[in-house]
Structure 1
Amino acid sequence: MANFSIATVFIASISLLFALSNSFSLENPTDRRILVLVDDLALKSSHSIFFSSLQTRGFELDFKLSDDPKIALQRYGQYLYDGLILFSPTIERFGGSLDVAAILDFVDSGKDLIVAADASASDLIRNIAAECGVDFDEDSSAVVIDHGSYAVSGTEGDHTLIAADDFIQSDVLLGTTKIEAPVLFKGIGHSLNPANSLARNNARVLFSGSLDLFSNKYEIFCSSSNHQCKRQGAQIITCNRYAKSGNQQFVTELSKWVFHERGHLKAVNVRHHRVGETDEPAIYRINDDLEYLVEIYEWSGSSWEPYVANDVQIQFYMMSPYVLKTMSTDKKGLYRTSFKVPDVYGVFQFKVEYQRLGYTSLSLAKQIPVRPFRHNEYERFIPTAFPYYGASFSTMAAFFIFSFVYLYSK
């Protein structure tokens, strides 16, 4: 058995992966058709609360045994599903045309994935995790142990049932409603590979070291901090502090994030022009004053709402950023800024590279050439050159006076 401290509980329990580009419908990015692969169809009952929450929110779940010979993710080059749930930790080989490569292609195409493992995780599940940068504990019998934050179970002295309440502080991942009760976890430990940049696309992948995390069995419990519980044999009936665990809320909120009901951004109406004008020019001149505007919206699960943030930046880029400015927002979705074109000519880019925890990334780029002044656009007399002008005219005057004196003096 592996022994982990409470600080590592949620590294061991949940891994969230997301990366960098957009491959979703701008009209409705939320997944709807989901394939659920299980080792035993009895999981439909033992995990019914989680599945019911998905169906209540409008998802179409297609349950299949993981070794079903008719399994297929696509037909005639088109994907049949928007998301995939693998609740089959012991499967050694998928049925039909499904394999590791097919699952990775599914994710690479922008689709989403939930994988739940346990101490009996097969090499197949471990390989899928490894390809996504997640390393499960190599010991197949290892489970996470915490002697400080464990939940009281039917077996005294068993500290493998962990009651964790140290969650990531992110509304986009776990919702705005605080999870009051601890989340129960019992499963295998795993970690993220530090060499993994998570930079694939805006598909979202969730790995759990516990299949029981999503089940109905941990709805009622007693934590180690409060032992005043009523029992009937080994079955816990109620707890004075918490009537139920936070598992249902936890996995429900995570599934909203995974299936793009939250945290999905889009950028529209990207435009730029000279200050005081409205038409977008084909070229700018050095030292022009210009304005850049973009509208950013966030999907709420049912509609697009204005995205409000104070950290969206624009780069005016050629080999390196010549201008880097934070854009202001009217809190209705519109972001804008203005700046002066650098006194350097060449081919520049307007670049917005926005990456924020839990949100789909935005990558906007548009080239625009910048030219120097034409010969007839320079000022006739430059104020900074007045000393040189004075020196030239004074030399001419002195030469004229010298010539006059030399020629006409006796």
Structure 2
Amino acid sequence: MASRYIFTLTLIYLLPFIIISSPLDDPRDQRVLVLLDDLALKSSHSIFFNSLLKRGIHLDFKLADDPNILLKTYGQYLYDALILFAPATERLGGSLNLAAILEFIDSDRDLIVAADENASDLIRNIGIECGVLFDEDPSTMVIDHLSYAVVGNEGDHTLIASDELIQSDVILGSRGTGAPVLFKGIGHSSHPANSYVLKVLSGSPSAYSANPASELSSAPTLTGTDISLVSVVQARNNARILLSGSLDLFSDRLFKSSVQKAGSLSKYEKSGNEEFVTELSKWVFHEKGHLKAMNVRHHKVGETAKPESYRIKDDLEYSIEIYEWSGASWEPYIANDVQLQFYMMSPYVLRTLTTDQKGLYYTSFKVPDVYGVFQFKIEYNKIGYTSLSVSKQIPVRPFRHNEYERFLTTAFPYYGASFTTMVAFFLFSIIYLYNK
């Protein structure tokens, strides 16, 4: 009984920490649900799945229409991410539907969706909710008569060799091989004003979207570099989504295939698909580009204790530590564009923080001559990195009545005038009273 009582007390004391802890605080040991149209995809896409397993990600494979699919029980999610390799599935099994997937994303969890020319309305609706619009015409595919792969095309030039990649090391790494990425599938578009959607792999200027089995009767709706082949989304809550118009992009066949782009003399023994997909999946699962802030401190210059309020014109110091997940541990994040706002309705002070190259960012400034409730605010948004939003309220008060300086130098003429008036009145009174 005593041991059970101690165990219960331990759970009670640990419970607040368990609730506060986020699955993104440590992006290791993730559980991922993989939904497939056909279990044969486990073998035809084995290289991709094995790369996830080698990185310590636990995969749970199920058919997309399995009636026993559960994303959560008793309000707790069972998985940290979802891979949807079921482009033709019209209806998902269990309680899983479009609303459940959107709720899953809203809970800070990640999603990978692969479509193809047979994409169902469900897949297209998921894309719309995530900010992209897959080509709505049935049986259309992306065609490119100039940037196609020499080997593997049946004359319709739907197997594209694309090197139109986003220039971001944090998302795609350094891309050591430089081999083009093979793509066969449908294109999609996004609204230009939507800053949350990033085109990772784009069509070339000669690409267009059409049905390869029929002649064009009108101009295609998607053309050129406006065609997105693969896009990523990072939501406001830092959930990450990968949207691909090709399921074959992840296949062993394209991973192992040699590639030569039409019009190029360079031939590669292996396509860039494996490197591209591996780096992209690392980003989606927060194995890179994931930031966290901690140890926020502020105090008056010359002191170490955090005050309950500041006075106008106080000199203060502010510091924060920022770290980046390297895939195995938290490493210092080094940048020169982290800014602090001292904010009340609008920024009164804006400072670029100085770093010691070890994760510590700091600055100092004088409190403005305005009193009220201010905020120390950091809003850090950089392409490829999770956004940081750190704020702390602090009151700023005016001088107290006994904190003003006495006998100001600039007021000496007024002091002199006052004392001169008093002396003159005293002399006048004596002369007036005693002069006969």
TM-score by length of 1: 0.86
Kept after mapping to 2: 8 A contact 1:84/1:112: yes
Q: How far off its partner does 1:78 sit?
A: 1.4
For 1:215, the equivalent position in structure 2 comes to 251
Q: How far off its partner does 1:399 sit?
A: 6.2
Match of 1:353 among 379, 394, 414: 379
Counterpart amino acid of residue 220 in structure 1: S
Q: How far off its partner does 1:137 sit?
A: 1.0
Match of 1:56 among 54, 57, 67: 54
Kept after mapping to 1: 8 A contact 2:29/2:56: no
Task: Give deviations 1:304-334, integer Å, cap 9, x for gaps.
Answer: 1111111111111111111110111111111
Q: How far off its partner does 1:164 sit?
A: 1.5
CA separation of 1:27 and 1:105: change in aligned 2, threshold 3 A: closer
Q: How far off its partner does 1:383 sit?
A: 3.3
SS at match of 1:359: coil
Counterpart amino acid of residue 22 in structure 2: F
Q: How far off its partner does 1:45 sit?
A: 1.5
Kept after mapping to 1: 8 A contact 2:238/2:386: yes
Match of 1:173 among 171, 174, 177: 171
Matched, 1:284 2:307: no
For 2:85, the equivalent position in structure 1 comes to 87
Q: Indicate the larger mover: 329-338 or 240-249.
A: 240-249
Matched, 1:253 2:261: no
Task: Give deviations 1:13-46, integer Å, cap 9, x for gaps.
Answer: xxxxxxxxx9834652246211111111111111
CA separation of 1:148 and 1:155: change in aligned 2, threshold 3 A: closer
TM-score by length of 2: 0.81
SS at match of 1:217: helix
Counterpart amino acid of residue 212 in structure 1: D
Where do 1:175-324 residues align within 5 Å? 175-194=173-192, 196=194, 198=196, 199-218=235-254, 219-226=257-264, 241-324=267-350
Q: How far off its partner does 1:52 sit?
A: 1.1
For 1:237, the equivalent position in structure 2 comes to none
Q: How far off its partner does 1:160 sit?
A: 2.1
Q: Indicate the larger mover: 329-338 or 174-183.
A: 174-183
Task: Give deviations 1:248-272, integer Å, cap 9, x for gaps.
Answer: 0000000000001111111111111
Q: Matches of 2:36 and 2:105 in 1, distance apart? A: 19
SS at match of 2:105: helix
Alignment RMSD (CA, Å) = 2.3
Q: Matches of 1:177 and 1:146 in 2, distance apart? A: 23
For 1:13, the equivalent position in structure 2 comes to none
Q: Matches of 2:423 and 2:159 in 1, distance apart? A: 99
Q: Matches of 1:185 and 1:34 in 2, distance apart? A: 25
For 1:74, the equivalent position in structure 2 comes to 72
Kept after mapping to 2: 8 A contact 1:92/1:122: yes
Counterpart amino acid of residue 261 in structure 1: E
Structure 2: tracts of 5 or more residues without a match: 1-19, 197-234
Q: How far off its partner does 1:177 sit?
A: 4.4
Kept after mapping to 2: 8 A contact 1:314/1:325: yes
Q: Matches of 1:91 and 1:23 in 2, distance apart? A: 35
For 1:375, the equivalent position in structure 2 comes to 401
Kept after mapping to 1: 8 A contact 2:312/2:398: yes
| Paired residue total | 377
SS at match of 1:106: helix
Counterpart amino acid of residue 263 in structure 1: G
Percent identical among aligned pairs is: 72
